[in-house]
Amino acid sequence: MSQVEVQKIEDHTTSLAIAAAVICVLLTLLIVWLKRRFIRRASTVLIVGLNDAGKTILFSKLINQGHTPHTYSSLKENVYDGFMDAAGNELTLVDFPGAERLRKQLFTNYFQQRRSNLRGILFMVDSATFSKRARDVAEFLYDVLYESAKKVSVLVACNKQDISLAKSSQAIRSALEREFGLINGTREAALESTAGDSKKRILTDTGRNFQWKDLHSPRIEFLECCVAPQHESGESVDLEGIQKWVNSL
C-alpha cells in the first residue's frame, strides 16, 4: 500500500472520529434539552391558609413590591407564572382562597390532579388571632399535610408579628402539635365511612401523643414574618425568611 493511500486512510479515520465526537456532543445536548423540555421539575409553590392570614399580600410582595398582580375575586385563586428563584428556575405561585367551601376544589386540583407539579406549600397563619382559631388552623394544616401525601416541603409562616397579641412561631408550633394529637385521636376513633371502610385520614398512628418528629417527611418549618407594610411607604416588609425557603426548594 502506497504512502498516499495510507495517508488517505488516516485522514478518513480522523474525519470519522471527529464526526463521531460531534454527533456525541449533539446527542448529549439534545438529551439535555429534551429532559428540560419534557421532564420538568415540579414548579408550583402553593400559598394557602385561613382567610385574612395575609396570603394575597404575600403573593403580591413576592412577585414585586412595585407590581400590582392580576387579582380575582375571593373565590378564585391568583396565579403568577413568571416568578424566578435565586437559581434562575421559573416557578408558578398560586394564592388560593381560604374559604372552607373551596377546600375540596383545592385538594382535587392541586393535591390530586397536579400533585406531581407541586414543589412547596406555604401555609400562612395569622399569629394575632391564632389563639381563637387554633383548631381551624390545625384542621386545615393537618388536611394539607395528609393530602400532599407527606412528600412536599411545607413552610408555616406565622404572619403579623408586628401586632402585640401575635403568638410566636414556637408557641404556634407547640399548640399545633397538641391539636394534631387531638385530631389523630378523633380520627382514629371514627371510620371514614358508614359502609365499614376502615381507612382513616390520619397522618400518624401515634394518636394523642403526636410529635412533629413523627413526620419523617415532608420537611416542615416554622418562621415568623410580617408581610404587610410596616410604614405608609410600604418599603419595610419582612420576606427574607420566606424567600430563603423558596430558594431552597
- Together in a domain, 86 and 73: yes
- Together in a domain, 117 and 169: yes
- Together in a domain, 22 and 91: no
Q: Is the distance from CB of 167 to CB of 131 less than 8 angstroms?
A: yes
- Together in a domain, 142 and 231: yes
Which residue in this structure is represented by grid cell 390530586?
112
Cell of 68: 400590582
Q: How far is CA 238 from CA 166, 167, 211, in A?
A: 15, 17, 29
Q: What pLDDT sits at residue 233?
A: 45
Q: Map residue 224 onto helix, strand or coil.
A: strand
CA 1 – CA 6 distance, rounded (Å): 7
- Together in a domain, 126 and 228: yes
- Together in a domain, 9 and 110: no
- Together in a domain, 1 and 88: no
Per-residue pLDDT of the chain (249 residues; tens, 9 = 90+): 566 555 555 556 666 667 677 677 777 777 655 555 544 567 999 999 999 999 999 999 898 765 544 545 568 899 999 899 988 999 999 999 999 999 999 999 999 998 889 999 999 999 999 999 999 999 999 999 999 886 789 999 999 999 999 999 999 999 999 999 999 998 888 755 555 454 568 888 888 899 999 987 768 999 999 987 555 444 445 688 999 999 998
- Together in a domain, 51 and 29: no
Q: Is the distance from CB of 237 to CB of 227 less than 8 angstroms?
A: yes
CA 165 – CA 162 distance, rounded (Å): 9
Query: How many structural domains compose the chain?
Result: 2
Residues 6+ apart with CB under 8 A from 69: 59, 60, 63, 78, 80
- Together in a domain, 67 and 169: yes
β-bridge mates for residue 46, sequence order? 94, 121
What stretch of H or E contains 48? Answer: strand 44-49
- Together in a domain, 53 and 147: yes
CATH code of 148's domain: 3.40.50.300
Torsion-angle region of residue 196: left (phi > 0), alpha (psi -120 to 50) or beta?
left
Q: What pLDDT sits at residue 151?
A: 78
Start-to-end CA span in the chain (Å): 65
Q: Which domain holds residue 28?
A: 1-39
Tens of pLDDT, residues 23-75 = 777 777 776 555 555 445 679 999 999 999 999 999 998 987 655 445 455 68
- Together in a domain, 33 and 52: no
Handedness of CA 61, 66, 69, 75 (dihedral sign): positive
Question: In the 3-class helix/strand/coil scheme, how is 131-156 assigned residue by residue?
Answer: HHHHHHHHHHHHHHHHHCCCCCEEEE
- Together in a domain, 74 and 30: no
